[in-house]
Amino acid sequence: MPRLYESRKRILVTGGAGFLGSHLIDRLIAQGHEVICADNLFTGTKRNIEHLHANPRFEFLRHDVCNPLKLEVDEIYNLACPASPVHYQYNPVLTTKTSVMGAMNMLGLAKRLRCRIFQASTSEVYGDPEVHPQREDYWGHVNPIGTRACYDEGKRCAETLFFDYHRQHGVEIRVARIFNTYGPRMHPRDGRVVSNFITQALAGEDLTVYGDGAQTRSFCYVDDLIDGFLRLMEAPSGVTGPVNLGNPHEFTMMELSSQVLKLTGASVKVIHQPLPADDPRQRRPDISLARETLGWEPKVELAEGLANTIAYFRTLSPPH
């Protein structure tokens, strides 16, 4: 139900035209808030937010968070950053700048406004983990000069900035470490395994599995993740995070490919290619902290979420 006017907030969402940002904005608008979406459209798309343009409580601002932004808002969600290897490796210097300078600019705004700010961090801060599953107190196993470091280390530095602004300036922060998430509005060419498998299957192409397919990931449906965002942002003062948000159920790449083939009805093969550099062998969150502090855990099963995602990808034209 929409909130009463007295509790309406003016909220900034950076990266709001992206996959996660657009879903977050939908939920905030449904709650009755006013939302400013700031996005430079590097990986985001107007398609994701076109249904909101007629809404008087929605405003789109084309802006790069590497540059300062002067607004009056009550809350900030900082989601701006390319998040898939294909996109963040395309311009690695820009990726690092977006993570680090974007965090500094948004934290500076939150400091001036004395408002709460949310950081969309990532499970990539754990790198190729030597601890399984990953808990928030694990410091990670990251190659600082590898091809993925622009994203991994950029997000790690952003977390450093968030906690230093919290300690030094008293900025009220919330930090979420996001594990693999999927759902409608994923970019069809983001290079992630779910979108890769679905686009290949719908195009009648063989599914590409890197390595032997025994490496694992956990897949969280987007609706569950956004619920975690909102619960973390609304948690009592003192709950800063970082908090893992993801699905603790683990699947191999071969298991995922079988599910996609079954749900799409595609009659294609699975082919194998070499693993990319620094690709993690396994990734699964320990979500004990999210359960205890937020009362949160994912509820959407993989088959249901994949069916919804496949239905969305079928609407894309021309087919990818």
Q: Which residues are catalytic?
A: 151
What number of CA atoms fall less than 13 Å from residue 209's CA on the CB side? 19
Alpha helices in 129-191 (DSSP H): 149-169
> Are the beta carbons of 78 and 65 closer than 8 angstroms?
yes
Characterize the bridge pairing of strands 216-218 and 250-252: antiparallel
CA angle 194, 186, 315 (to 5 degrees): 100
- Tell which residue, 210, 240, 219, 235, has the closest CA to residue 295: 235
Phi and psi angles of residue 310, each rounded to the nearest 5 degrees, phi first: -65, -40
Alpha-carbon torsion (26, 27, 28, 30), positive or negative: positive
Instruction: List the structure tokens of 296.
Output: 């949160």
